[in-house]
Chain A
Amino acid sequence: MPEKVLMKGNEAIAEAAIRSGCRHYFGYPITPQTEIAAYMAKRMPKLEDGCFLQAESEIAAINMVIGASAAGKRAMTSSSSPGIALKSEGLSYLAGCDLPAVVVNIQRGGPGLGGIQPSQADYFQATKGGGHGDYHMAVLAPSGVQEMFDLTCLAFDIADRYRITSMVLSDGILGQMMEPVTFPEEETLNNAVPVEKSWALTGTHGLRPPNIVNSLLMDPLELERSVVERFARYGEIAARETRWEEMLTDDADIVIAAYGATARIAANALQAARAQGIKVGLLRPITLWPFPKAPLLELAQRAKAFVCVELSMGQMAEDVELAIRCQKPVLRCTRTGGVVPSPDEVLAKILEAAKG
């Protein structure tokens, strides 16, 4: 049994990246994700081919990721909300170029410079694109430090397998908190089998025609075709990679939908409500894109109401309503700006839902 170590969520992400074979990290300081860069700055120079570079800006950092990824290497950048906004041009280019990359967003309150306290207000930005154009990222939402590690490993695998950007969408609570983590043995990591990157820019060496990584397609039909092809791949991702966790949903009249840190707060409220005899369950999306629509729709056939707990004004709640086709009411239990709801606030909303 591997040893458990106490680690901050941010550090677990960085360690996961290194263990996933990422040797190229480009970042820019911003609270509350700075530990990721600090960890990389410490570790990368000690690794063969390890590259840590503090870029001049968020924009430069994501473009360095584009370069390293185009060169065929696993590359990552991390930031927090305002910095992710700056990176969104690069996110769109990554999509248009079909380059794999991992981008971490340890969310803080917004809009604007906002605050530095935890938030989930970048849900739309992450799941609906963020940058310009028709595209998606795979969006993974850990709810504990172990998952910060596990889902970062998965993010690299998904990125390579589908030539897509994987975003680890977390928040200041999970980034800053420490919990015990176990690292899997190297060979149990999925990424033991590297994906062939025949498209990488490594020089032709006179042996093949040039590889071109490009998102510019002037012919509308050609551009449309490339987007449609990409969406076919998105369909495959939705079919194979949608992940979620359910807790006590079998007999649930009320279903809480919450992800990340709020799912943990909701779990406290769930237990308090169960203690009062209310049949409440929790569905925690682990992938926010692809969104677990099917299990939500299925639950909607039995449940009376849904309660969405979010650190935003109710962004995921819209996806829940879409998933259940508005068949049941979706109550919002939301705090924003860096304020975190207490389990009691969530309980109150559950009671409201139970009253109907």
Chain B
Amino acid sequence: MTTQLLFAGFGGQGLLFAGKFLAYAGLIEGRQVSWLPSYGPEMRGGTANCSVILSDEPIGSPIVLAPDILIAMNLPSYRKFEPMVKPNGVLLVDSALIGEQSARQDISAYYIPATQLASDENMPGLANMILTGKLLSVSPLLKQETIPAAMAKTVPARKQALLEQNLRAIALGRAA
């Protein structure tokens, strides 16, 4: 079984971080994983995306062209990648930033005002993890008990204070 995920939005929204969290979670669960960022001069503000693959087989191309799961965090990314989601795939949209809704009937779409929720709950910059939390509630991708361990790996040692906040954002997303 192979799951291809794509996180797409602006640089600075924590797309790479969210992807890294899932990659670590996959690693902890003993799966093959790959994580590939788009890279370039747009460190902040430009469109950016991150391909993550979790698989039980050796991973070929690390580039996700047709995602099983798409997390879209800005309109250009939504428009670009929504049509590419595989049939029976999952679409998660930050509806605080993206006003459109998918007309596709062959995918499961979820609309969470993640950026608004993050702002309301005083967790700026954690819309990424709210969406990730929602993903974990609608998809059997990961085991619940993997999450804290994966987060501990993902948050840099010198920023462990952020660990709890990230876990809180995931919990918030689950409930959203």
Contacts and interface: CB of A to CB of B under 8 A. Distances in A.
Contact of A116 (B20, B39, B58, B65): B39
B35 A177 contact: yes
B61 interface: yes
B102 to A, nearest CB: 23
Contacts, number: 61
B39 A179 contact: no
Contact of A179 (B33, B40, B60): B33
B89 interface: no
Looking at B23, B32, B39, the one whose CB has the most chain A CB atoms below 10 A away is B39
B63 interface: yes
Interface in A95-142: 116-117
Interface string A262-277: 0011111001000000
B138 interface: no
B27 A6 contact: yes
A6 B61 contact: no
B23 A178 contact: yes
B59 interface: yes
Given A116-B39, A180-B27, A173 B63 contact: yes
B158 to A, nearest CB: 13
Q: How large is the interface on B (under 10, 10 to 19, 20 to 34, 35 or more residues)?
A: 20 to 34
Interface in B18-37: 20, 23-24, 27, 32-37
B87 to A, nearest CB: 16
Nearest to A272: B60
Contacts of A340: 63
A268 B60 contact: yes
A32 B39 contact: yes
B62 interface: yes
A170 interface: no
Contacts of A180: 27, 32-33
B39 A176 contact: yes
B36 A177 contact: yes
Contacts of A342: 65
Interface of A: 4, 6, 31-32, 116-117, 172-173, 176-180, 261, 264-268, 271, 340, 342-343
Interface of B: 20, 23-24, 27, 32-37, 39-41, 58-63, 65, 153
10 contacts: A6-B24, A6-B153, A173-B63, A178-B20, A178-B35, A180-B27, A261-B62, A265-B61, A271-B60, A340-B63
